Chains A and B, each alone.
Chain A
């Protein structure tokens, strides 16, 4: 299974943009890039996903490198409620996800 690499932790000031990087150098042509986040004491929740093009939704934006070997999750204005562990996941043509260790985001008031 293709693997992802993320920094263990990041900090951001409240109301500033946050760029969460993810490397996936062994990605295959059919792998989708998914991002989930896990708030304290909760189950993971979907954030965004994409294949080749950049994607935007109400929660975040996903920027995918042209060679697809890396991607960046962008939170446009971090709030205290965005403090969570963010997981970058590759989904193949099946339906199973393999979560890595994720990035723990701390938002500083």
Chain B
């Protein structure tokens, strides 16, 4: 398996523009997570899905952020409009979520977002 795939790997955009980050989880995994990492705040859980349904979005910072999972093999995290304080590395992770698994989360390589 190729692991969790994220695109783009780097994104530079201007303030006010819409940004869409993409994630393909590992095939067969039923949980998908979006995280954000900054020097100031560390690694934060933004939202997670189970079987394509959002379960907990309490970590989403504000209404400018939205996430979707239209099917089991694809998810997006959108920021509209983007602001400089959104600059961070965004990670997607997936896992199997049943009692016989370790709930081990497999992380993608991340998308480094810079908003100027």
Contacts and interface: CB of A to CB of B under 8 A. Distances in A.
Interface of A: 32, 34, 36, 38, 42-46, 49, 87, 91, 94-102
B71 to A, nearest CB: 20
Nearest to A100: B42
Nearest to B97: A95
B109 A42 contact: yes
Contacts of B35: 99
Interface string B37-71: 00000111100101000001000000000000000
A96 B107 contact: no
B105 A97 contact: yes
A46 B102 contact: yes
Nearest 3 pairs between A and B by C-beta?
Answer: A43-B107, A99-B43, A46-B104
30 contacts: A32-B103, A34-B103, A36-B105, A42-B109, A42-B110, A43-B91, A43-B107, A43-B110, A44-B43, A44-B91, A44-B105, A46-B104, A46-B105, A49-B102, A49-B104, A94-B56, A95-B31, A95-B48, A95-B50, A95-B95, A96-B33, A96-B48, A98-B45, A99-B35, A99-B43, A99-B44, A99-B45, A100-B42, A101-B42, A102-B42
B93 interface: yes
A82 to B, nearest CB: 18
Contact of B107 (A44, A94, A98): A44
A98 B108 CA distance: 17
Contact of A95 (B103, B108, B109): B103
Contacts of A36: 105
A65 to B, nearest CB: 21
A97 B50 contact: no
- Central interface residue in B33, B106, B107, B109, by most chain A CB within 10 Å: B107
Contacts of B110: 42-43
B45 A97 contact: yes
A5 B33 CA distance: 23
Given A43-B109, A95-B50, A96-B33, 11 more contacts: A36-B105, A42-B109, A42-B110, A43-B91, A43-B108, A44-B43, A44-B105, A44-B107, A49-B103, A96-B45, A99-B42
